[in-house]
Amino acid sequence: MVETMKLEIFRYRPEKESVPTFQTYKVPFREDWVVLDAINHIKDEIDGTLSYRWSCQMGVCGSCGMMINNVPKLSCAAFLKDYYPDKIRIEPLTGFPVERDLIFEMDDFMTKLTEIQPYIIRKEGEEKPLDEGEYLQSPAELAHFKQYSMCINCMLCYAACPVYAIDSTFIGPAAIALGQRYNMDSRDQGRDSRQELIASHEGIWECTFVGECSAVCPKDVDPAAAIQRAKVSSTVDWFKDVLIPWGKKK
């Protein structure tokens, strides 16, 4: 007798329904299966109409994020055995508009990611000619930002953030953490050009430090810490401007 368990999956097919429903599927229970394996089984064997995103199946691509029993997780890293024998409820990541079933629209995140300029910026005239070689960096300098560079853009942090769910103008955890990653990079000189967005009302000051973005991050990026640290440096900027206006920026 094969052990089974139930998956209750969010369904939204815009051509036939205006409000989503839930559909329950019975799948075989296997110790070594993750939720994504069970969903792949449904797609292959039970209901080919189910739509969802996935790719690497090893926690690298960041495509398969879903709400699993209300918690944002990579479905390739959530084992069935951790839920067995209870039913698992699966929904698209919260905070994003749903396109179909478990697929959500990520345009807003992509726009914000671009706006934060997540790449090394050199000041005008300070770009080294290629034949002078690379910009050197010590292991200690790397240690300062390495954690923030581990982001895989899976958007679990956005789904965990109640601020983003309520007000989607918030730049959000991953984008700010990536901005901070480059701001803290010794080779980068672009902090001033990122600062307008990071220190804006839609940036760090929208964050109320719920901290769940860091709790759900599969790569231990700790975006909540990145945001709070950006708040500290922006506050220091403000005091410098007010108290020593003649001292102006570097």
Partner 1 sequence: MNTYHRPVPNTWWLKRKPYILFMIRELTSVFVAGYCIFLLVLVYKLTQGADAYGNFMAALKSPSSVALHLITLAFVLYHTITWFNLTPKILVLYRGEERVPQGLVAGTFYAGWVVVSVIVAWLVLGV
Contact 207, 162 (CB under 8 A): no
- Point out which residues bind partner 1 (CB under 8 A): 12, 14, 18-20, 70-71, 94, 97-99, 105, 139-140, 142-144, 162, 165-166, 208-212, 214-215, 222, 224-225, 228-229, 231-232
The smaller minimum CB distance to partner 1, of residues 27 and 98, is found at 98
**Rounded least distance, CB 232 to partner 1, Å:** 6
- DSSP annotation string for 108-162: HHHHHHHHT--S----TT-PPPGGG-PPP--HHHHHHHGGGGG-----HHHHH-H
The smaller minimum CB distance to partner 1, of residues 56 and 142, is found at 142
**Rounded least distance, CB 26 to partner 1, Å:** 26
Q: How far is it, in rounded angstroms, from Cα 187 to Cα 149?
A: 14
Q: How far is it, in rounded angstroms, from Cα 98 to Cα 92?
A: 7
The smaller minimum CB distance to partner 1, of residues 72 and 118, is found at 72
**Rounded least distance, CB 212 to partner 1, Å:** 5
**Rounded least distance, CB 124 to partner 1, Å:** 31
The smaller minimum CB distance to partner 1, of residues 85 and 162, is found at 162
Beta-carbon contacts of 71 under 8 Å, excluding residues fewer than 6 positions away, are: 160, 216
**Rounded least distance, CB 56 to partner 1, Å:** 26
Nearest to 215 by CA among 71, 90, 44: 71
